[in-house]
Amino acid sequence: MRIEHIAMVVRPRNPWEAMDLGFRMVRVWWKPVYGAWLAAYLPVIAVITLLGAESHHPWIAICIVWWVKPLLERVPLYVLSRAVFGATPSVAQTLRALPSLLKTAPLWRLLLMRPSPTRSFCLPVVVLEGLTGRMRRARFKVLLKGAYSAATWLTIVCATLELVLASGSYSLMELLLPRTVELRVTPQELFASGFPDWYAWMFYGASVFAYLVIGPLYAAGGFSLYLNRRTLLEGWDIELGFRRMAERLGRHGMRIAAMLLLAFTLGMPPHAVYAAPAPTTYVAKQRIEAILRRPEFSTKKTIETWRYIGKEDTQETQAAPGLAAFFTQLGCGLAWIAKGFLYLALFAAIVWLILYRERWLHWMRGIKPPPKYQPPAQLFGLDIRPESLPENITEAAMEYWRAGDPRAALSLLYRGALSRLAARDGVVLKASDTEGDCLRAATRVLDASNSGYFARLTAAWQMAAYAGRALRTEEGEALCRDFSTHFPVQRGAAA
């Protein structure tokens, strides 16, 4: 690692700026970073997916992908650590170096260090410095002393981004499903034995995609924090400044300086030199402590300023400093004039509202209440008006069912349920709603028992109306009998 070949501006940065620099690295070297990342990531994901498919346990595949992710994060770290110092590796070179990168990743470290909030910050110490044992722990202690909070927040932010991206991907897949398929998954059903595997595989795919996108950014942010911490501790910016100064002086400058020093030494008159007695260790320690107790050594002050880092037209600024000052004063004057006009306009508006209050107060008095909700007459072709339904829906539906017409029976039950939801329970239904919209609106109003019955009725109606599949006889008769229990007729109300 040669500091003079570093491909970025080396200077002390605050932690958030350092993390942003890491994300910028991924943007600059995105081709080698994501190329090597995909080359190492996709085969591992393929093997884990096949194992999960063979065992019929997709949740095991999800846990394994989450567990081995720190191993794969060494790949973008390796690429960035070479690219920063001017030696960007190819995908083939990165894959050839992969066995050496995995030597420092024993199984026990994955088990113990996986939940660490500072994993991406400590990973360069493990992979790049190659320290082990007590030396590694001492190195962690020194580096984390001023960066533990920033490294933890980096983990939290990237984990949140992964969660948002995975949730968005899962929602997108849900939107692409047919409208007849209703995804209603509760937290209690998520890990149940009868939970469909393809729901879990959808979540697995969304999680893998989120890891694929955010993984290199997380590794780059931790690596940039690591570089910034070393810059603060080891003074990389000062060392580079001295090296550039030495390059500017060159050989001739050093020769001239040596000749001047020699001439100055030879030109001094001879005089006696007396050596002062060397102080003891105890006396020297007391003097050092006395100097360090002075106010100038005990005051620490951090000053942050905003500075424009773009191109500056130095010639124009130096040639016309008076013109720049004139325009600055002119802008300040115009700002004060505009501010005065705004205050005058505000004062005039307040006076007008007070003087002419009779003109606008009646507007507020004349506000009419919103019109009373009128339920639609039809929903997706079904007539839900109360007058279009028989008085005893349960008996009428049972007659249809026994006559061998289950579609008519389910249609009557479903129409009766929608009619009473809109007319009696106050559920707001629109003419453009679908069965799924009606079910969601009813769930927000009904209790658990009634909403469960309405969900079963909706599913049975969808299967009969769109798939041509009827329920078994006992299930259909149970729906007919339970209708009056969940949607009873109120006395004095229309059926």
Q: Closest Cα partner for 237 from 80, 12, 25?
A: 12
CA distance 420 to 487: 7
Amino acid at 204: Y
Rounded to an integer, what distance in angstroms lies between the CA atom of residue 426 and that of residue 460?
Answer: 24
Which pLDDT belongs to residue 328?
A: 77
Residue 355 is predicted with a pLDDT of 81
pLDDT of 314 reads: 45
Q: Distances from the Cα of 122 to the Cαs of 113, 119, 220, 232, 260, in angstroms?
A: 10, 5, 12, 16, 50
Backbone φ, ψ for residue 180 (5° rounding): -75, -15
pLDDT of residue 188: 46
pLDDT value, residue 245: 67
Helix (H) or strand (E) holding 90, with range, is none
Residues of the chain with CATH 1.20.120: 378-486
Helices (H), 356-447: 357-365, 393-402, 406-423, 435-443
Tell me the per-residue pLDDT of 436-479, one tens digit each, with 9 for 90 and over.
778 777 777 777 777 788 788 788 777 777 767 777 777 777 77
Which residues, given as ranges, of the chain have pLDDT below 50?
185-195, 271-276, 313-320, 491-495
Pairing relationship of beta strands 378-379 and 382-383 according to DSSP bridges:
antiparallel
The pLDDT assigned to 317 comes to: 40
Q: Which CATH fold would you assign to the domain 378-486?
A: Four Helix Bundle (Hemerythrin (Met), subunit A) (1.20.120)
Phi, psi of 255 (to 5 degrees): -65, -45
Paired strand residues for 24: none
> Which residue is listed with tokens 């453009």?
432
pLDDT score recorded for residue 173: 81
* CA distance readout (Å), 242 to 8, 252, 419: 17, 17, 85
pTM higher than 0.75 for the full model? no
pLDDT single digits (tens) 201-236 = 788 888 889 989 998 999 999 899 988 888 888 776
